[in-house]
Amino acid sequence: EAGVTQSPTHLIKTRGQQATLRCSPISGHTSVYWYQQALGLGLQFLLWYDEGEERNRGNFPPRFSGRQFPNYSSELNVNALELEDSALYLCASSLDRAISGANVLTFGAGSRLTVL
Amino acid sequence: RKEVEQDPGPFNVPEGATVAFNCTYSNSASQSFFWYRQDCRKEPKLLMSVYSSGNEDGRFTAQLNRASQYISLLIRDSKLSDSATYLCVVNGRAAGNKLTFGGGTRVLVKP
């Protein structure tokens, strides 16, 4: 079974540009989560999508946005890039939306964004 | 106060020794708890879920203390391959299903 796949693996942009990151969840998983992990810092929750809708977002400015497609894949867009956006962006998927609250996440390998 | 707090370490552990560390959480309505493991420059991977009654998986034991709002992880007979960052994860339905990660505890097992 294919795991969570993310693309691109690495992305280099300059300040002010836009970045688009993509994620394909495990087959059958309907929830997709995005996290940011800056160097030396912990994982910061960005966005949660389920069944095509944004269900929750973390404490990030509106220039971080995304969407989930009918096939449950997801896209994260970062507009007006700033130097501090340089980080590893991790996507994770889970099977159970929140029936029991026991969401086990499977992560992709991440997309490393460097803003120059 | 952070929602989920961990001692960043590093915990330097001799091979074969036992190491234990905690994670505290601030939301008393939290319902699900997990430990993930993250190797350097890799993605986090689920190590184990934490159940109210405590649970064990081989050399790893997880405990939940709701009264004091912390979870713990104990590693027995440490192996060199146990060197990693251990992330505590907490989920509360009141938090809109947002799983909150702690900053991680780094463990270094040395020969």
Please give chain A's pLDDT, 116 residues, in tens. Answer: 679 999 999 999 999 999 999 999 999 888 899 999 998 788 999 999 988 999 888 899 999 999 999 999 999 999 999 999 999 999 999 876 554 445 688 999 999 999 99
Determine, for residues B46 and A104 on separate chains, whether the beta-carbon distance falls below 8 Å: yes
Sign for the pseudo-dihedral over CA of A29, A106, A80, A42: positive
For B52-77, the pLDDT digits (tens) are 888 999 999 999 999 999 999 999 99
Judge whether B101 and B46 are in contact, CB under 8 Å. Answer: no
User: How does pLDDT run across B8-37, given as a tens digit for each residue?
Assistant: 999 999 999 999 999 999 988 888 899 999
Cα–Cα distances (Å) from A34 to A25, A58, A77, B78, B83, in that order, read: 11, 10, 11, 32, 26
What is the model's pLDDT at position A99? 44
Q: A43 vs B45: CB contact, 8 Å cut-off?
A: no
**Which residues on chain A are in Cβ contact (under 8 Å) with B29?**
none
Contact A101 B96 (CB under 8 A): no
Question: Locate tokens 């993310």: which residue?
Answer: A6
* E-strand stretches of B26-101: 32-38, 45-50, 55-57, 60-65, 70-75, 84-91, 99-101
Closest CA to A96 of A51, A30, A49: A30
The secondary structure of residue A25, as a DSSP letter, is P
Average pLDDT over residues B2-11: 92
